[in-house]
Structure 1
Amino acid sequence: MKKLLIALLLASPLLSIGQGQDKDEIMEVINQVFEAMRTNDSTLLKQSFVENPNTFTAFYDNDGNSTLVSGEFKRFKDAVGQPKEQVWNEPIWNEKVEIDDNLASVWVDYAFYVDDQFSHCGVDAFHLIKREDGWKIFHLVDTRRKENCEIPDEFKP
């Protein structure tokens, strides 16, 4: 029993190193999504996702009812890739990454701007799976609101 405990204690730092590397790789995938949005690069965006991922938006409708709307990834990808004069900028902060084996969950606060004009804020929640070609997003849901947005100064234009 004592040997098992010692072996676990010695392996613990190695597990942390592996998870740190995974966390960096996961955040690289997440940041790639926002870079793709800023640069109108639908190819870069697609590289972050599995084929046919699930996307949703959770919000309150005009009557105050909690609503969940399913998105279509192809529409999102096409909108990102559409040439446009404005820059879509979505800074994120307060990242929370949870990893178990080949499954990861990421929760981030965000603010969305069109050029320097504030549009909305909320939370993006991602689920990723680790495959042979790296971490890929298979599920994305966001919340959206225009009020009660606590945006740190460094993420404001």
Structure 2
Amino acid sequence: MKKIIFLALIFVNMSAFAQRQTPRELVDDFFEAFHAQDTTELKTFAHEGARLESVSIDAEGSTKLITGDYSKFLKGIASIPADATFEEKLHEFRVEENGPLATVTTPYSFYYNGAFSHCGVNSFQLVQFNGKWKIVYLIDTRTTQDCD
């Protein structure tokens, strides 16, 4: 009986630990699923209605803002050809947490089929719901200049 209680306590503690994923761990897991094109797993990281935006500067020097929703992002990931390769190399993580709100910023370089495509910064806005972090907003910048 003591063994059963002991195992039950271990299981409860492991379940509680799994619920306490950190903001950085969520973003790490997001990119692991992203590179695997695992849209089923990617869907679990976002709160329903999560928004995505991308900022860039066009040839005339004007700032462009493209807005989409998370489901459109998932469809885009699913549509990448199986023979294509892509990698988003993250250069660092900056994490700010305040209670149930967190911001994770990750400068990156993106490569498609082994060739440099663009660089920028991702900014993930996360909210903790019932002990679990979820993406509610993701904005990134994209440029091909000053990518050192």
Q: What is the CA-CA distance between 1:23 and the residue it aligns to?
A: 9.7
Partners of 2:66 and 2:29 lie apart in 1 by: 24
Partners of 2:146 and 2:87 lie apart in 1 by: 19
Tell me the amino acid that sits aligned with residue 81 of structure 1: A
Unpaired stretches in structure 1, ≥5 consecutive residues: 1-21, 151-157
Contact map agreement 1:46 1:77 (CA 8 A) in 2: yes
- Larger RCO, structure (CA 8 Å, separation 6 or more): 2
From 96, 108, 117, the equivalent of 2:106 is: 108
Matched positions, count:
129
Q: Percent identity?
A: 31
SS of the residue aligned with 2:144?
Answer: coil
Partners of 1:34 and 1:132 lie apart in 2 by: 23
**Residues 90-137 of structure 1: per-residue CA shift (max 9 Å, x gap):** 111221100000000111100111131111000000100011151011
Q: 1:98 and 1:113, CA in 2 relative to 1: closer, same or farther beyond 3 A?
A: same
Contact map agreement 1:37 1:88 (CA 8 A) in 2: no
The residue aligned with 1:97 is 95
Q: What is the CA-CA distance between 1:87 and the residue it aligns to?
A: 2.2
Which is helix-richer, 1 or 2?
Answer: 1
**Residues 20-68 of structure 1: per-residue CA shift (max 9 Å, x gap):** xx99621111112211221110011111111110110011112101121
Partners of 2:114 and 2:21 lie apart in 1 by: 28
Partners of 2:129 and 2:29 lie apart in 1 by: 17
How high is the TM-score relative to the length of structure 2? 0.80
Q: Report whether the alignment pairs 1:70 with 2:79.
A: no
Tell me the amino acid that sits aligned with residue 99 of structure 1: E
The residue aligned with 2:130 is 132
From 129, 144, 150, the equivalent of 2:142 is: 144
How high is the TM-score relative to the length of structure 1? 0.76
Contact map agreement 2:20 2:132 (CA 8 A) in 1: no
From 93, 116, 119, the equivalent of 2:117 is: 119
SS of the residue aligned with 1:90?
Answer: strand
